[in-house]
Amino acid sequence: MNNGTDNQAGKARIGFIGLGFMGRGMATNLARAGHPMMVKGNRDRAPVEALMAQGAVEAQSPREMAESCDIIHLCLSNSDQVEAVIRGEDGILAGARAGLIVIDTTTADPVSTAALAGEMAAAGVTLVDAPLGRTPKEAEAGTLDAMVGCDAETFAKVRPIIEVWAGNITHVGETGAGHRMKLVMNFISMGYAALYAEALTMGVKSGLSPQAIHEVIGGSRLANGFYDTFMRAAVSRDREVHKFTITNAAKDTRYAASMAMAAGMANPMGSAIRDAFAQMEAAGGGGGYVPWLADHVAALNGLDLEGAVAQSKA
C-alpha cells in the first residue's frame, strides 16, 4: 500500500466491484485515466472482458483486491451486497491493510454505512460514501454527480479520483452524509415518477393525448431533467433512456422511509411513493425501469398507455 500512488505509473491502483449500468462507465474512465485497475464483476462478463482488454486484472475475491489496491470502488445494488463484500470470509476486511480507502457509490442504508465505517476504521480502512446522480450516459461521459461523505483530509485525497468519473462533486459532510443526501434526492425523484405516472393516466383517461400532455408540461417551468427522460420512455417509448430498475427504486424508497422514521418525522408522502413502487415490484415488474411505472399505473386503471400513444400518432 502506498496511500494514493502506484509505483512506476504514479497513479493510485484502483479496485472496482460492481460493473453494472453505472459502474462499467466509471471503471472505464478510471482505466482511461491511466490507473492500474483490478475489477470484479457479477454475471455479465462483457464489462469485465472489456476492461481486461484495456489492461485491467480480474480479482478472484474482494480480499485479493484489498490486498493489492490503494482505493476500492463499490457500485452495488443495496446494503446487503455491500455488507457481504466487506464482511465476507473473502471480503475486503479479510484482506484489509492500513491506509486502504473504500469509496462506496451504492445508494445504501445510512445505518449500515455507519456500522461498516466503524468496523473498517478499526482495521485502518477509511470508508467514503459517494453515491451517484444522473444516468449511465453520464457515467460513460465521466460527468456524474457525486455527493461525498468523509472527513476533509480524506476528501482532499479522493477528490482527484472522483473527478475522473464525476463532473459535479459536493462534499456534504462526514461519512454517511452522502448516503443520507442521496436518499433525500431519490425521495424527490421517485416522487416525481409516481406523480408523472398518475398524471399521464389521469390526462389520457380524461380525453387528452399522451403527446399533448408531454408537450405542454415539457414546455413549461414544471419540466426538468428527470421529467425529460421519464417522458421520453413513457410517451416517446424510448425504453432504454432511463435505466434504473423498479427493484432499485423500491429499495431506495424503503431506505428513505427508514431514515424518516429514525428522524422521528411524519412521512405521508414517502408512504405513498413507496407503495407505488412496492406494488409494481410485487406484481412482477421489478426488472422494468422506473418510467415503466406509467404503464403499470395505466393498466391498473384499464388503460393501455402504449396503445394510447400509438393511436394519437395515427
Domains of the chain, CATH where assigned: 7-174 (3.40.50.720), 181-313 (1.10.1040.10)
Query: DSSP alpha helices (H): ranges in the chain?
Result: 23-32, 46-53, 62-68, 79-87, 110-122, 136-141, 152-162, 177-205, 210-218, 225-234, 246-262, 268-280, 293-300, 305-313
Mean pLDDT of 68-94: 97
Dihedral of the alpha carbons of 274, 278, 281, 282, in degrees to the nearest 10: 180
In a 3-state reduction of DSSP, which class is residue 57? strand
* Burial tier of 229 (Cβ tally within 10 Å: 0-12, 13-18, 19+): buried
d(CA 118, CA 97): 15
pLDDT-derived band of residue 44, with 50, 70 and 90 as boundaries?
confident
Spatial separation of the C-alpha atoms in residues 216 and 228, rounded to whole Å: 12
Catalytic: which of 11, 40, 157, 182?
A: 182
**pLDDT of 4 above 60:** no
Determine the average pLDDT of the residues in 198-218: 98
* C-alpha distance from residue 40 to each of 45, 51, 74, 102 (Å): 10, 10, 10, 14
pTM above 0.75, yes or no: yes
User: How far apart are alpha carbons 150 and 179 in whole angstroms?
Assistant: 11
DSSP label at residue 154: H
pLDDT beyond 90 at 52: yes
Can 182 be counted among the known catalytic residues? yes
Q: Quick one: which of 150, 46, 54 has its CA closest to 102?
A: 150
For residue 37, CA distances in Å to 98, 209, 237, 263 come to 20, 50, 37, 40
Q: Collapsing DSSP states into helix, strand and coil, what is residue 277? A: helix
Mean pLDDT to the nearest integer, 281-307: 98
Q: What is the mean pLDDT of the chain?
A: 94
Residues in the chain: 314
- Among the listed residues 190, 298, 170, 291, the one whose alpha carbon sits nearest the alpha carbon of residue 237: 291
Q: What is the pLDDT of residues 157-168, one digit of tens each?
A: 999 999 999 999
Instruction: Please give the backbone phi and psi of residue 147, each rounded to the nearest 5 degrees, phi first.
Output: -110, 115
State the Cα–Cα distance between residues 116 and 209, nearest whole angstrom.
50
Q: What percent of the chain has pLDDT over 70?
A: 97
How many of the other CB atoms lie within 10 Å of CB of 218?
Answer: 15
Q: Tens of pLDDT along 122-155?
A: 999 999 999 999 999 999 999 999 999 999 999 9
Three-class DSSP category at 93: helix
262 pLDDT band, cuts 50/70/90, is very high
The Cα 36–Cα 26 span in angstroms is 14
* pLDDT, average across residues 34-50: 91
Which residues pair with residue 37 across a beta bridge?
A: 14
Band of pLDDT at residue 1, cut at 50, 70 and 90: very low
Please give the span between the terminal C-alpha atoms of the chain, in angstroms, as a whole number. Answer: 64
Reported as a single tens digit per residue, the pLDDT across 218-230 is 999 999 999 999 9
